[in-house]
A and B are shown apart, each in its own frame.
Chain A
Amino acid sequence: MNAIDSVRDILTRNMRQSGIVIAFLAIVVLFAALNPNFLSPTNLTNIVLQYSYILILAIGMVMIIVAGQIDLSVGSVVALTGAVSAVVVIRQGMPWYVGVLAALVVGLLVGIWQGFWVAYVGIPGFIVTLAGMLLFRGLTFLVLDNKSLSPFGGTYYDIANGFLNGLLGGNGFDVFTLVIFGIAVVGFGVSQWRTRQGKIAYQQTVESMPLFVVKLVAVAAVVMWFGFQLSISRGLPIVLIILAVLIIAYTLVTQKSVFGRHVYAVGGNRHAAELSGVKVRKVNFWIFVNMGVLASVAGIVYSSRMNGAQPGAGNMFELDAIAACFIGGASTTGGVGRVGGAMIGGLIMAVMSNGMQLMGVPQSMQQVVKGLVLLLAVAFDIYNKRRASVLR
């Protein structure tokens, strides 16, 4: 297979995925052209800090959507877990890690609660989590006595606002940040190489060697450039590390683990999955437990970022997370969707919000544009599917 055929093959086979990546890059280029500050080190750092909690929510949400369910309660859970943490740390004066632990436990309990109703009582996730949305919002008000609590300060504040910086010195740029990014790029290259070798060993077609190298170099260049921008700004955001660990872990779980495979099987055809020995109820239960815990992580990050807890925190977060999944190629009927896609979808939303804010576009207009992007992304998806089915 020569290089051009190979590129075309990759593009057509992954039209949906590559289409989204191309759209993402186009949006980045557009905003970079419209506003010189968009690609500045400070702003890139800000994008990461501002949207990390939506991305964390989208990781859990994509698994729920793949299984054919939906979770409308995550915004309220973000608020509740942040509130509990604030009560523990600010009002009770406990150390920061007790607050983190309390939030995680609350998230776990919320997940168990919703998972129970969905999996073992058989109520659709839409209803259970619609109820949860009201329920947990109400509990947030109760926990906070209708008042905001702030500030956290200290280590808790650093979770979403802190940077790893200066650990290895550096003159004008942070060497530590670059080393971490270097390790990440090398790790990516090695894993790609091993995948390729594995494919060759099993006599599958792989892209040609030059193309493979070009792809790796391009990815490495973009990632290192991003790392360099961070290093000349404030260094490596702690929340980026949390996010990276979660993305890698959940990509592995969804793509390589038996549990992940079962999630796709349940979403694709529940009855067939059941008759193939998949414990459908268990799968449904655990994806909601998982979502509860991830929502609490997002709650911790958000409350840290806000340096306090407000009764109205996390309002509409569920819609951003759901939109990220659908823009990223998840199917409304389940069975299709990827963590990577949801991350790109979330980044598209993040970059657009941030870009428009920089340009001083009013909030109202931003909402209109985001709504249109969601609609067009799904329309594009349907168009592609139809085209693919006609091609068959």
Chain B
Amino acid sequence: MSTILEMRSITKEFPGVKALSDVTLTVEQGEIHAICGENGAGKSTLMKVLSGVYPHGTYDGEIILDGTTAEFGSINDSEDRGVVIIHQELALVPYLSVAENIFLGNETRNRFGMIDWNAANRKAHALLERVGLDENPTTPVGQLGVGKQQLIEIAKALSKEVKLLILDEPTAALNDDDSEHLLELLRQLKAHGITSIIISHKLNEIEEIADRTTIIRDGRTIETIDMSEPGSTQDRIIRGMVGRDLEHRYPERASVVGDEVLRVEHWSVDHPTQIGRQIIIDASFNVRAGEVVGIAGLMGAGRTELAMSIFGRTYGRNIRGEIYKDGKPIQVRTVSEAIGHNLAYATEDRKHYGLNLIDDIRHNISAAGLPKLAPRGWVNGNEELRVAEDYRGSLNIKTPNVLVDVGKLSGGNQQKVVLSKWLYTDPDVLILDEPTRGIDVGAKFEIYTIINKMVAAGKAVVVISSELPELLGICDRVYTLAFGRITGELPVAEATQERLMELMTIERDQPLPTKETAS
């Protein structure tokens, strides 16, 4: 086996921060090489150095590709040498067809300088076959799911004669099936001699697919592990990433459950545009003070729709059902009313629904609780800053100060800003939608600790998640949601992943299990 890539002593400094310090990475021809590290460890920076986003000269160190020194001035230079990076946020144009996207910027022209669409579609078809996607090349990309879009990105990379494929968090937005399909594809590409570098937080995937794993922590290479050796387990990787033994992935909590705080009964919601299509059907659940209640559901089960329809009717139409707060019926017609009733909802989609990325941490934290800072309509700026600084300290938001734009923070720190925003509204009930999506192990642990602090303070927390180990690790009680119906309710002591998965896959025409078997 020969070495395809060697990055020697890469050091990259930004004013005031050393993002990478003397990082070394060696990738063998034809392997799948995983890079692990906490958010902010420097993984993405390293890949940006490799792909020419940070051009040669802005960093120290040497890149040797296929035995020759590479000095990339731009992404085009690196792509010419067969290095293609696929970013976490996909770069496809939703209104263009699959073929148009694949050949965007790389169009096949006939002798008149016009694009030969027949040839392009034919080639696209062949590429789609290679990635195992049975779609018409003329379909607009926006009509396809995220999983398929990811495959189209790979097809696009293949069209550029890729030798070294870099995938940044490729499965973060994918469900289990799509993830499995993607990993299988990487294995096939490997069989065809394509080397892959994969950045992922999903350690079970890495354990499954990677030949070797390089761990980066605080901008330094910690070690490269050969995954075929015994003892190369997830725990070993975690140890390297956080620099300590993470004995428990979920912090301990003494559960002191009090009175019921929120009860939702017979909740039904229709699709906002498709008349007659019911998204939530007769859902009922409750949560008590000091309790963490989980809602487990697969993608498309209606988890977010359930939460958002409750939170000020921000989703759906023809919403029916009752909400009781502290035993009394309440009306929650708008978000302000929801906040007024001390409800809070932290969205699963931080970037689109949770944060103003072009504004600073301070203003994002105060966004929902602004009336508290402005008793007479005028914001007390100094107090606002103090509040933001308080949360930076107590939630450990890693930033030099709170005047930094939120868009520049890592996922874990962004999530902490979202939580700060809602904690500042003094909620009694906090609904957290996928609170740990796309963030690293260390930050996850911190988020769990924050959840524990909240319930210890007598708040009620609802966690929506598709990660079953997470729900089992932090909840007192778990509801399952399948195809818009609550299909079961289990105390965590009786819940197992298998049992939950069974309940999560009950289709609409199947009968629900009776209460005895469900609890």
Contact = CB atoms under 8 A, between A and B. Distances in A.
Contacts, number: 91
Interface string A256-300: 111101101100110111111111000000000000000000000
A335 B367 CA distance: 14
B119 interface: no
Interface string B74-113: 0000000000000000000000000000000000000000
A268, A274, A278, A336 pick with most chain B CB within 10 angstroms: A268
Contact of A258 (B15, B379, B382, B389): B379
A273 B311 CA distance: 14
Interface stretch (A110-118, A148-156, A196-204, A355-363): A196-204
Interface stretch (B196-204, B207-215, B350-358): B350-358
Nearest to B54: A390
B236 interface: no
Interface in A215-267: 252, 256-259, 261-262, 264-265
B384 to A, nearest CB: 9
B367 A273 contact: yes
Contacts of B357: 268-269
Interface in A167-221: 198-199, 201-202, 204
A392 interface: yes
Could you tell me the dominant secondary structure of chain A's interface residues?
helix
A258 B363 CA distance: 11
B112 to A, nearest CB: 35
Contacts of B386: 202
A259 B371 CA distance: 11
Contacts of B385: 202, 204
Contacts of A274: 314, 335
Interface residues of A, number: 31
B421 interface: yes
A268 B359 contact: yes
A5 to B, nearest CB: 13
A335 B354 contact: no
A86 B11 CA distance: 70
A121 interface: no
Interface of A: 198-199, 201-202, 204, 252, 256-259, 261-262, 264-265, 268-269, 271-279, 331, 335-336, 390-392
23 contacts: A198-B381, A198-B382, A202-B382, A202-B385, A202-B386, A252-B378, A256-B381, A257-B374, A258-B371, A261-B379, A265-B359, A269-B357, A269-B358, A271-B352, A271-B353, A275-B347, A275-B354, A278-B335, A278-B367, A279-B336, A335-B356, A335-B358, A391-B14
Interface of B: 14-15, 54, 58, 311-312, 314, 334-336, 338-339, 345, 347, 352-359, 363, 366-368, 370-371, 374, 377-379, 381-382, 385-386, 389, 408, 421
